[in-house]
Amino acid sequence: AQTVTQSQPEMSVQEAETVTLSCTYDTSESDYYLFWYKQPPSRQMILVIRQEAYKQQNATENRFSVNFQKAAKSFSLKISDSQLGDAAMYFCALEYGNKLVFGAGTILRVKS
């Protein structure tokens, strides 16, 4: 079975600072993809970043980057220069065989 674990139910960060959200996963698949989704209070699910498991290079999207450690099955999200608009629930997800498995989520609070 595929599982995704987010061990931090809540995190806080000061505006303009950097924060890292943790995610670990378990899968026996060799071909899979990993995603981070953001869910603001509006309830929309917004794709933040995507990582192909076969690529060693960590994905980056502007202020968002990942630290992908395949052997450790770890996939953390780093948000640099945090902004008030980054406050949301963040979900880590594993894709295999056309299906997504989500972690329980981490609430990120941004302090001004």
Nearest to 11 by CA among 94, 112, 106: 106
Q: Does 59 bind other proteins (CB under 8 A)?
A: no
Counting contacts by CB under 8 A, is residue 54 touching other proteins?
no
Instruction: Show Cβ contacts of residue 66 under 8 Å, excluding neighbours closer than 6 positions.
Output: 34, 36, 49, 51, 58, 59, 60, 75, 76, 77, 78
Binding residue for other proteins, selected from 25, 35, 68, 75, defined by CB under 8 A: 35
The interface region with other proteins, picked from 19-27, 43-51, 61-69, 75-83 by CB under 8 A, is 43-51
- CB-wise, 50 or 78, nearer to other proteins? 50
